[in-house]
Amino acid sequence: MSETKDKPKPKQGRDATGDDRRLNMIEAINDALDVAMGRDENVVVFGEDVGYFGGVFRCTAGLQEKYGKSRAFDTPISECGIIAAAIGMGAYGLRPVPEIQFADYIYPGYDQIISEAARIRYRSAGEYNVPMTVRTPFGGGIFGGQTHSQSPESLFTHASGIKTVIPATPYDAKGLLISCIEDNDPVIFFEPKRIYNGPFDGFFDRPVQNWKSHPDSVVPEGHYSIPLGKARLVTEGDQLTVLTYGTMVHVAKAVLEEKGIEADILDLRTLVPLDIEAVEKSVKKTGKCMIVHEATRTSGFGAELSALVQERCFYHLEAPIARVTGFDTPYPHSLEWAFFPGPVRIGAALDKILKD
Amino acid sequence: MADRPKRNADGKNQPHLTLHVPEPSYRPDADDVDFSAIEIPEAGAQSRPDEACDPEETHGLCTDLIRVLGDDNRAHGPWDPKLDPDTLREMLHHFALVRAFDERMFRGQRQGKTSFYMKCTGEEATSISTAMALQPDDMVFPSYRQQGVLIVRGYPLIEMINQIYSNSGDKLKGRQLPIMYSSREHSFFSISGNLATQTPQAVGWAMASAIKNDTRIAATWVGEGSTAEGDFHAACTFASVYQAPVILNVINNQWAISSFSGFAGGEQATFASRAIGYGLAGLRVDGNDPLACYAAEKWAADRARTNAGPTLIEFFTYRAEGHSTSDDPSGYRSAQEREAWPLGDPVVRLKNHLIELGEWDEERQAEMDLKAAEKVKKDTKEAEKNGILGHGMHQPFHTMFEDVFEEEPWHLREQNEQSQAERDKKYPDGVPH
């Protein structure tokens, strides 16, 4: 169930003014890696540009200096090799945290993830397991074009044996990443790079926000974790349920606020295993369900969500389940805002679902 | 001045391009198999550089063929590992056991006791002799034709048979295709059906051992056909970049199911010579020479264990039987090839060596073979008490849902219940055995 109410109180941070410590998502991820590496010397971090340079998004900055080259290091440009090395390290007993620079480039490592990492516990009847967390920036809204914008989460949720986790706030990013690293199953940790620096609300023509003014950028120091498989109730309301994750949590919230709609927005946080209880409880309360994701529509994770809601909440539904997604095209460069499931597309879906 | 090219029909004076599609020397109708074109150097003629040498010093060995046992059945040259007769007899015993095992399991498949089997006939030295050169806790990442490693490490035959029969004693709970063994206790990594994936994993394991300042090394085996996979390139690159304590064993048995080694690039260069481009030490070894196989693996193990770097070894051998029980090699190669193969049979070569040393004789060999067959027969009967494939004594249905994750999530719990309800409906009086 929702974690909102039992969230641990953030400790007083190191901000000179005495305010709570506020981090953006990059800093929160960096902090999570630092905490995990500090607690367990079996945690190793590696990937392209991850070591000396600290990552193209700065998520691993300072780790090599602090923990040494054998704990945080650069790799050849080979996603297959990166994932395979992590699997071998996992079999040895390490807790590898490989980075794939963009989710769009995870496919050369896909066979190693799907055929190997996801299956090793099963095929060896538990003799071997791969406690690996693959971190990878994903999602669009940054003019990344076809190969810096994709959201391939459904390619992973479809494979048995792998967990898929997506944070939407700095607080969650740290707590969820620590949980992933400590989890004994392989996890794909998708980082919505559009909201690395601020909670993008989908209104691309307005000034960009940063995390400092957002309540969920208060990130406690030290160790804390958020359980996998638990959704977060972002807002509460009776008019409908919105199932979403990543960047789209903020977009959906902003659109609902603009339109004065009161809804349960569920930030799913973990796609597999899904918090089905939270989904069921909310949809049965509201009777209406809208699913929002950036990924393309056909066979996207929204299709699974829609099917589950239909199967479990059929007699409570008062309107067809709405899916607001990217279009079934490769991610375009110049036509980004026509592709992105932003306020206009969400607004139209809301008008339709709330008509009655 | 060169002749001007002839004009083509289209009036251009450029030659038309043609695609080269490799073709093996012999097909099923060939009754003139002649491998004399394969260069077989004199045993003992190859130099043996220091284990800590620069990779460049091994370049000559990447195109040569390291051999120890000569036609005179004696050991020659600097690669002679000088094994004592007891160790040689132990090796011969492992050969006898794996050969008897392969025979019986193949027959078991033909009798319908299991769905599938793969022999390693002719390639025994590439797993048994090599595994004997490693420490028992060195981690191995095998392909599907290294059952010899398990034999060397004393993995119980009964466990192997339980796995092959997917019976109630199968430690892998009937989840894996026969021969895809796994034994953490024997430092034997879980075998995957996806080719070459184990090679960069072995490098990762070796990197982990180095990260933790351990003393153990890793070894992986891959067929020459699978070296064409991208994973093999990743393995070579990572091994080289991080100087990982790993041995990359390439078993060049000439055939990848029906395609000959030319389709993996073997026509233009030896597989050992791949090492040169990656800056790895490389060795090319007579894979049917048990002493050479042992010596090369030991050299590479010593090199890895002393932080001197990884090694790629090509074992030049011949897949004497079909690819698997599902394969009929008479559909693509000459039946004469096996007899004509110039490097002989590893088992016979080791036996003759021991006889030449005065440490063995045909009577003792016959007795050993008989005992090996009896041991396999006895263990097979014992394993069959746990059932054979499809005869009811499999794992309980609910185990299908275990070990997907460490803990069973809700959706698998629901599917588990659904599965149980299906069984209860079909068999209201309980599932028959």
Q: What is the pTM of this model?
A: 0.96
The ranges assigned to domains in chain B are: 55-325+334-384, 397-426
Nearest-angstrom CA–CA distance, B220 and B130: 11
Residue of B nearest to A113 (CA): B197
Residue B283 bridge partners (DSSP):
B313
CA distances from B369 to A231, B93, B268 (A): 64, 8, 41
Nearest chain A CA: its distance from B288 CA (Å)? 30
Nearest chain B CA: its distance from A116 CA (Å)? 7
Q: For this complex, say whether ipTM is above 0.90.
A: yes
Residue A92 sits at the vertex; the CA angle it makes with A89 and A93, to the nearest 5 degrees, is 90
Instruction: For B341-381, give the secondary structure using H, E and C.
Output: CCCCCHHHHHHHHHHHCCCCCHHHHHHHHHHHHHHHHHHHH
Nearest-angstrom CA–CA distance, A248 and A227: 21
Give the number of other CB atoms < 10 A from CB of residue B324.
17
Class of domain B55-325+334-384: alpha beta
Q: Is residue A223 flagged as an active site residue?
A: no
List the single residue in B200, B241, B405 with the smallest CB-CB distance to A84: B200
Pairs of CB atoms within 8 A across A/B: 146
CA distances from A28 to A9, A25, A139 (A): 16, 5, 18
Residues 6+ apart with CB under 8 A from B164: B105, B108, B114, B117, B178, B179
Burial bucket for residue A277 (CB in 10 Å: 0-12, 13-18, 19+): middle
Nearest-angstrom CA–CA distance, B372 and B157: 11
Residues 6+ apart with CB under 8 A from B234: A76, A78, A80, A81, A84, B199, B200
**A273 with B172: Cβ contact below 8 A:** no
**Would you tell me which residues 294-353 of chain B have a C-beta closer than 8 angstroms to some C-beta of chain A?**
none
pLDDT in tens, chain B (433 residues): 556 667 777 788 888 999 999 999 999 999 999 999 999 999 999 999 999 999 999 999 999 999 999 999 999 999 999 999 999 999 999 999 999 999 999 999 999 999 999 999 999 999 999 999 999 999 999 999 999 999 999 999 999 999 999 999 999 999 999 999 999 999 999 999 999 999 999 999 999 999 999 999 999 999 999 999 999 999 999 999 999 999 999 999 999 999 999 999 999 999 999 999 999 999 999 999 999 999 999 999 999 999 999 999 999 999 999 999 999 999 999 999 999 999 999 999 999 999 999 999 999 999 999 999 999 999 999 999 999 988 766 788 899 999 999 999 999 999 999 999 998 998 888 766 5
Nearest chain A CA: its distance from B403 CA (Å)? 5
List the single residue in A75, A92, A121 with the smallest CB-CB distance to B205: A92
Nearest chain B CA: its distance from A185 CA (Å)? 6
CA distances from B333 to B23, B39, B225, B336, B338 (A): 11, 21, 16, 9, 10
A91 in contact with chain B, both atoms CB, cutoff 8 A: yes
Reported in sequence order, the residue ranges of chain A that DSSP labels E, i.e. its strands, are: 43-47, 72-74, 95-99, 133-138, 163-165, 187-192, 232-235, 240-244, 263-267, 270-272, 289-296, 322-326
A93 in contact with chain B, both atoms CB, cutoff 8 A: yes
B363 in contact with chain A, both atoms CB, cutoff 8 A: no
**A127 with B183: Cβ contact below 8 A:** yes
**A123 with B197: Cβ contact below 8 A:** no
List the single residue in B197, B207, B409 with the smallest CB-CB distance to A112: B197
Nearest-angstrom CA–CA distance, B223 and B226: 5
**A92 with B182: Cβ contact below 8 A:** no
What the block records as the tokens of A159 is 């494979």
B118, B299, B332, B114: which is closest to B219 by C-alpha?
Answer: B299
Nearest chain B CA: its distance from A137 CA (Å)? 23
**Would you tell me which residues 224-263 of chain B have a C-beta closer than 8 angstroms to some C-beta of chain A?**
230-231, 233-235, 237-238, 241
Position B253: which residue type? N
What the block records as the tokens of A190 is 């998708």
B211 in contact with chain A, both atoms CB, cutoff 8 A: yes
* Chain B residues within an 8 Å CB radius of A228: none
